[in-house]
Amino acid sequence: MKGSSLLLCLIWGFNFVIMKLGNGAFEPVQFAAFRFLTGTLLLFGILIWKRVPNPDRHTMKWYIICGILQTTYFNIAIQISLNYINAGLTSVLTYSMPLFLSMMAHFLIPGERLNTRRTIGIATGMMGLLFAMDIHLGGNLWAMLLGVSSAIAWALSNLIIKLKLQHCDKTQFTTWQMAFGALGLLLYSLLFERWEPHFSAASIFYILFSGIVASALAFLLWTHILTRMEASKASVTLLLVPIIGVVSGWIFLHEELKAATLLGIFFSTGGHLDCEPCRDSEAAVNE
């Protein structure tokens, strides 16, 4: 489980670079639609191969809600944010999700209440988030808030997984929520974006990597991790993603490493990693 978590962080951290590059060839949400449609096709092939039955009507409604939150809105917010702020900062804001999920779990998931150590960790993480945003009057504050809203939407979806979908087939859930989410992205793009995609060997690679590796396979891995661990413990493993995202943006996109962003990463990851869920997770990931 520990190796799976590290692999997931590497994939999702580097994917911010791929998404930023993809925005140069496609409209932002158009790229996300191509990405998740590609991932959905692969996953439906896996469902057919495994002979997984279709979900029942009660379960399907939760798949639709998660698809809208975790795939449609989440990616609209990220892709638009990437057009106005750099990939590293976007990754920091998006992967503040563990902070919000821990707070939601406190009130809604039995056995995951916050104690003093966890509360201090979350408060430190929120302070780090403010540093990372480097808030000032004007500028791209709205794009940063959009990035934060993607984290909240993702946290809500993860909460639903823990409360309502714990015993569902992981491949079935990942496939159907991604299918509904991809349709939402496609509809948004058709209504609000220009359709003048620039296909090339590079842009097709961006779609394939994001769709197959960072979407289909990575979300299967994430759902597997989330259903086997407490929400707060599972989500805290993702706090490496912003670091990988910032470093990847610096290496591959030559993005500036601002002191405020680095300080924000230190507080939002280091502070939350110092809280009790992370220490408890050391035993869980080695089971």
d(CA 172, CA 60): 10
d(CA 157, CA 134): 28
d(CA 52, CA 47): 5
Give percent of the chain above pLDDT 70: 83
d(CA 124, CA 138): 25
Per residue in 206-253, pLDDT (tens digit) is: 999 999 999 999 989 988 887 777 666 666 667 777 778 888 888 998
Q: CB burial class (10 A; 0-12, 13-18, 19+) of residue 138?
A: exposed
Give pLDDT, residue 201: 96
State yes or no: pLDDT of 280 exceeds 80: no
- For the chain, the straight-line distance linking the first and the last C-alpha, in angstroms and rounded, comes to 8
Give pLDDT, residue 281: 37
DSSP 3-state of 239: helix
d(CA 264, CA 212): 31
Q: Which pair of structure tokens corresponds to residue 8?
A: 């997931």
Per residue in 111-168, pLDDT (tens digit) is: 777 677 767 776 776 677 667 656 444 458 888 899 899 999 999 998 998 899 988 8
Q: CB burial class (10 A; 0-12, 13-18, 19+) of residue 137?
A: exposed
Give the helix ranges, DSSP H, for the chain: 2-22, 28-50, 57-66, 74-82, 87-94, 97-108, 116-133, 141-164, 170-192, 201-208, 218-228, 231-236, 241-252, 259-265, 272-273, 276-284
Task: State phi, psi for 270 to the nearest 5 degrees.
Answer: -60, -40
Give pLDDT, residue 210: 96
DSSP character at residue 197: -
State yes or no: pLDDT of 270 exceeds 80: no
